[in-house]
Amino acid sequence: AFVRVAQRAVQHAIRRTPVRMVAAAAAAAGTMTMVSAPMLARSVPASDVVSKGNQPKAPKGLEDVTIYQYQVCPFCTKVRMFLDYHNIPYKVVEVEPLMKKQLKGVTDSKKVPVVFVNGQEFRDSNQIIDHVSNLMELPALPPVHAAEESTWRTWTDERFVRVITCNMYRNLSESKQTFDYLTSVAKFSAMERILATTAGSAAMLMV
């Protein structure tokens, strides 16, 4: 039921969305990806770093973009969808969710997404999208559309994500299923996968 709600939200956003407002649709779509992730049956590269994007030449100021992420994180997905929509190439570093060793020595942040754009660090998904939009010199939205984009972002970040998260971790079995998927998308050691799945599943029950 929650996946169907997310799908309807995405379809509604896309129908009403000018180019700049794709971030609003991406926010809802990112949440849909998170809630349906344990049910996905697709191959994901097993390396820590995966190149993404189909554009051979990056726009000026966006030549080197790296995302530190969890695959099922809705805020990370929001950023990826925005970059994909604009064909901006980027690299992905999948972060082990318990020890987060991929972040050590790179940033003092304990949360994802963390994005580096030509060496400059950005953390909040909305801040990342706004910075990339400015670099691409996207035209400003009319006030009515800007207000609608802000409403979508706020509703998704503050309401929808929380509702979906609570329903993903309703019991230990579903929580473990989510972490099994999360630890399968990158090259984590067997011990890292076991620790992340065991500790993470128990911790998320308290969400």
pLDDT tens, 55-95? 447 778 899 999 999 887 888 988 999 999 888 999 999 99
Query: Measuring CA to CA, how many Å separate 51 from each of 39, 89, 91, 113, 182?
Result: 24, 7, 4, 16, 19
Give the CA angle between residues 44, 49, 50 to the nearest 5°.
Answer: 50
Range among 19-33, 68-82, 117-131 with highest mean pLDDT value:
117-131
Longest dimension (CA), the chain: 52
**Nearest Cα residue to 20 out of 151, 146, 147:** 146
- Predicted confidence at residue 207, as pLDDT, reads 58
Q: Please count the helices (runs of H) and the strands (runs of E) in the chain.
A: 8, 5
Extract the runs of DSSP E, i.e. beta strands, from the chain.
Answer: 49-52, 65-69, 90-94, 114-117, 120-122
